[in-house]
Structure 1
Amino acid sequence: MAIEIKAPTFPESVAEGSVAAWHKKPGDKVERDELIVEIETDKVVLEVVAPEAGVLTDVMAEEGDTVQSDQVLGKIGEGSASGDSEKKEEKSSGDDSAEKSEEKSDGQKEQQASAGKQHDIKAPSFPESIQEGTVATWHKKVGEPVKRDEVLADIETDKVVLEVVAPADGALQEIKAEEGSQVESEAILATFVEGGGSDYANATDNRPAASADDGASDEQIGDKIVAPAARKLIAEHDLDVAKIEGTGKGGRVLKEDVQKAVKDGSAKKAAKSSSAPAKAAAAPVAEGERTEKRVPMTRLRQTIAKRLVQAQQTAAMLTTYNEVDMTEIMALRAQYKDTFQKAHDIKLGFMGFFVKAASEALKRFPDVNASIDGTDIVYHGYQDIGVAVSTDRGLVVPVLRDTDSMKIADVERKIVDFGKRGRDGKLGMDDMMGGTFTITNGGTFGSLMSTPIINPPQTAILGMHKIQDRPMAVDGKVEIRPMMYLALSYDHRMIDGKDAVRFLVTIKELLEDPARLLLDI
């Protein structure tokens, strides 16, 4: 009996999706829970797995087709896979001539298998909010054996770094988009051949060195063939190419070879020979040399710049300030930090208190939790708070979902996870989308006071700063207290000054008396 493969049940906010990629063909065997097809929506890519083991018999929605929630995509039935049917067709009558024919056929199959099936390696399907990406890194060289699902390349977009993996065991045959190239959604990055990489490598060894791999754009320097990316690095570091050992086909010098030489310091140009004029050899280095280096902006940095300028140009942005006495919060941390860590296996930080205080304040002041969409105001019945995380690539803002229902331990654990994945470039698109409010903590870098910029289409952002001991008047006496300045930038088109000030005062009161968070007062 045929089993239907259905699209996932989409949430209410997602009307439809499109079939991004089939990972199986009709006639292929599939195992239970094996990935069969991917459905791309306007927010995320959803994976559809096999409900039972069997053979894919029908594909009822081709790649690119638009599908609805729970729509039937294909069917799994009982029966033999295409490979089994081929074996049946090859069954001989048993006479000598048939046996020879079968041997010949098997030999042809082995030859075809060694050549391998070719695939186009494509860039991922970008969401509508992302127009293009940049090829950041190729992790594999042409002809190098790779395993199925092993990472071939990284594509850097303005939000995240996306990984492109191998569709099967095999090797890259040709790279069509070099590192630094800009590519669009589903653009062809390379061609891939199934089977052992050694077969293709042996074939390419017989080609002229200058035309191996993507050598059409290579350059001959002395007796070395140098790849374009390697040539650029050699020029930047002023290296002697003759001292760099090429590991590519035919001794081709690759980017990785140059990076290794830079690290080892083994390819520096030698000083001029003794036959050169003595005064030239002893020429002094100019003092106070003023060097410059020009590098292109990363796509993430370009987008950050664009969005920040857009926010300042479109929003009527205003900032209100206050300060919070962190005495009670710090006392709580000192008293319970060891117990907290034993119970939850995570350190107790400050961000958990601020997220919970902001969640409570957002419930009381729904205008601050709203967003502007054209001429409409969208009021959100939930609190999704973005937390700014600094990475080597720039600032990213992953989102904590439904913070009102999260415990402080959940917040701290999630933020640690965001920080780790952000540094490793592993944050996904779904981690960054949405958000009704943002918190940024410049205090981790020593900032005493700053004016944060709103993250559109949100209408407010809270800035935390450095905790600093200052003399304060307490009950008519001067006491040294740990104080932190808070800054709330808000869009005056949406939020009145009175509500912005009251919102910030509410956060201050909740933090200075943490019992309010527990008692909901």
Structure 2
Amino acid sequence: MAEELIMPKLSMTMEEGQIVNWLVDEGDAVEEGEVILEVLSDKTNFEIEAPASGVLLKKIYDADDVVPVTEVIGYIGEEGEDIEDLIADKEAGSEKEAEVQDKEEAAEKTEETEKTPAAEKEQSTKENDIEVKDEIITDKVKTVPAVRRIAEEKNIDLRKVEPTGENNVIEVRDIENYIAEMEKGTEIKAYREKLSGIRRSSAKKVKESWTDIPHVTVTSEVNMEKIIELKDSWNQMQKDDVLKVSITDLLIKIVAAAMERHPIMNAYMEDDVEVVHNEGVNIGLAVSVDDKLTVPVFKNLEAKNIKDIVREKKELIEKARNNKLKSDEITGGSLTISNLGMYGTEIFTPIINAPQSGILGVGTIKKKPVVVDDEITIKPMMWLSLAFDHRLVEGAPAAVFLKEIKDLLEFPAKVMF
């Protein structure tokens, strides 16, 4: 019997995927485990393998189609196998589901309508009719209450509106005509653009993160003098440029050390009912590739030194640039680091990469006058912004965690090497 090829759910937040490219055609022989198509989801391309050996009998969806997870996208079976009945049964099931959903939506609308008594509508209409007939004279302008409300909402000077009502009263139609004329003069030309699959997926995920996760942000300014000295000293000793470190490399190491000491930040909420605790310290790094954002995840950082982090970061970024990241390389993170310092940004409030527990926003390093031992001196300062999931983490533990990162950045040698 033919095997269904379905759109896989490649992460907990994935709801749909876009078919980027079929690598085989209908009628081609395939082997179990062979990569047969590429799918785009959560800002990353994934390679999908054949679930069984046989022949690709049918493609249900083509390249660029967006398909919900678990939906059948094709069939693999024996050459010449008849699958028309399978396809017909599947379509009939989909139609039945759609019919049930339509009935449920119709029932909800009926219930909402019944909640509004007809008497309330009638009373409201009567009150409005009376209100329109009453005149208000203010600053030598005759008008009615409805016009006055519109003028206040739109910030309109009623002396500029030409009245057409009896006794020079400004009627609703007069202010509506005035607004229409004003809008003609300020009409803005624009064009519409449909979001591509990756941008649509990103927009949907950001919206869900913002609406589903109660964000709270705490900030702290850090003296980066010692970490810069450490970076420069380390890089001077390296003969191989591949092992030279950046501030981001050092941040990953330090944040991992802080997460070991504060395990609640190495966990995340799942479906509002469970807390998932990662055994290893897993941190995501926000990476912008061709104006598209992706978040590769460093796994088991508690067991890695700074050299390991430098090498792994280069590998993950290279994969991100070539759309070669695998599902397990963008999932499982507890917290993400987003560094906008290279763009001159001083401080910002980042949005959590769901379902993670938090995200650390990193600003630019800027020399500033600060007070040290009651004296004003110039130091390289940097802002950190920690946005965290308030369902999982209370304000005080989050503030303590951020202070831990600040302390380790200001005295880094004890955890770095």
Specify the TM-score bucket, using the shorter chain as the normaliser.
Answer: 0.5 to 0.7
Pairing 1:156–2:156 present: no
Alignment of 1:61-140 (within 5 A): 125-127=8-10, 129=12, 130-137=14-21
Instruction: Report the CA distance shift for 1:154/1:377 in structure 2 as closer, same or farther (over 3 A).
Output: closer
User: How far apart are the structure 2 equivalents of 1:191 and 1:375?
Assistant: 38
Pairing 1:447–2:363 present: no
Amino-acid identity (%): 31
Pairing 1:493–2:391 present: yes
User: How far apart are the structure 1 equivalents of 2:378 and 2:221?
Assistant: 14
Quote how far apart the aligned CAs of 1:127 are: 3.6
Quote how far apart the aligned CAs of 1:411 are: 1.1
Pairing 1:372–2:254 present: no
Q: Which has the higher contact order (CA 8 A, sep 6+)?
A: 2
Alignment of 1:163-242 (within 5 A): 163=47, 177-183=61-67, 187-188=72-73
Instruction: Report the CA distance shift for 1:138/1:446 in structure 2 as closer, same or farther (over 3 A).
Output: farther
Pairing 1:292–2:191 present: yes
Quote how far apart the aligned CAs of 1:161 are: 1.1
Pairing 1:466–2:364 present: yes
Q: Secondary structure at the match of 2:353?
A: coil
Quote how far apart the aligned CAs of 1:323 are: 1.2
Query: What's 2:300 paired with?
Result: 402
Query: What's 2:112 paired with?
Result: none
User: How far apart are the structure 2 equivalents of 1:179 and 1:121?
Assistant: 18
The one-letter code matched in structure 1 to 2:206 is L
Query: What's 2:317 paired with?
Result: 419
User: How far apart are the structure 2 equivalents of 1:172 and 1:338?
Assistant: 57
Q: Secondary structure at the match of 1:468?
A: strand
**Structure 2 runs not aligned, ≥5 long:** 80-187
**Contact map agreement 2:41 2:201 (CA 8 A) in 1:** no
Aligned counterpart for 1:432 among listed residues 311, 316, 330: 330
**Structure 1 runs not aligned, ≥5 long:** 1-62, 64-118, 195-288
Quote how far apart the aligned CAs of 1:293 are: 4.6
Query: What's 1:347 paired with?
Result: 244
Between Structure 1 and Structure 2, the one with more helix by share is 2
State the TM-score, normalizing by the size of structure 2.
0.61
Quote how far apart the aligned CAs of 1:488 are: 0.7
CA RMSD, Structure 1 to Structure 2 (Å)? 3.9
**Contact map agreement 1:158 1:301 (CA 8 A) in 2:** no
Q: Deviations over 1:474-516 (max 9, x none)?
A: 3344333221110111223332322222211111111111123
Query: What's 1:232 paired with?
Result: none
Quote how far apart the aligned CAs of 1:173 are: 10
State the TM-score, normalizing by the size of structure 1.
0.50
Q: Deviations over 1:443-502 (max 9, x none)?
A: 233321100122233222211111122222233443332211101112233323222222
Q: Secondary structure at the match of 2:264?
A: coil
User: How far apart are the structure 2 equivalents of 1:507 and 1:345?
Assistant: 26
Pairing 1:312–2:210 present: yes
Query: What's 2:254 paired with?
Result: 357
**Contact map agreement 1:361 1:503 (CA 8 A) in 2:** yes
**Contact map agreement 2:57 2:75 (CA 8 A) in 1:** yes
User: How far apart are the structure 2 equivalents of 1:484 and 1:310?
Assistant: 30
